[in-house]
Amino acid sequence: MTDSRRPRIDLEKSLAELEDIVEQLEAADLPLEKSLKQFERGVRLSRDCQAALQDAEQRVQLLMGNELRDLDPETLAGREPEADPESDPEADSGD
């Protein structure tokens, strides 16, 4: 459920800003106080981005309902997945 008090963010713009902040902090050219402010901004951006991604995931789950399941590359390619001998009880019948 989305929190109506949380403002919607532009995820791509926030991620780009976060990347810029990381580059600035890695360059170590900023004074300590400016570094701390940038770090705080980066933490906020990171949390906002994570929340936006969780909201998007919930929306996808609502839209897909029970159709959402683990994606198997073989199933996506149109083939039936091969049985796993360790989890297939019929594979053990050759006692």
> Which pLDDT band holds residue 93 (cuts at 50, 70, 90)?
low
Higher pLDDT, 71 or 65: 65
Q: What is the pLDDT of residue 33?
A: 95
- Mean per-residue pLDDT for 29-50? 94
Average pLDDT score over residue span 31-44: 95
**Going by C-beta distance under 8 Å and a sequence separation of 6 or more, which residues neighbour residue 92?**
none
Distance (Å, rounded) from C-alpha 22 to C-alpha 42?
8
Angle between helices 11-27 and 32-64 (to 10 degrees): 150
pTM of the model: 0.57
Per-residue tokens: 16:
């780009």
Domains of the chain, earliest start first: 8-67 (1.10.287.1040)
Label residue 39 exposed, middle or buried (CB < 10 Å: 0-12, 13-18, 19+): middle
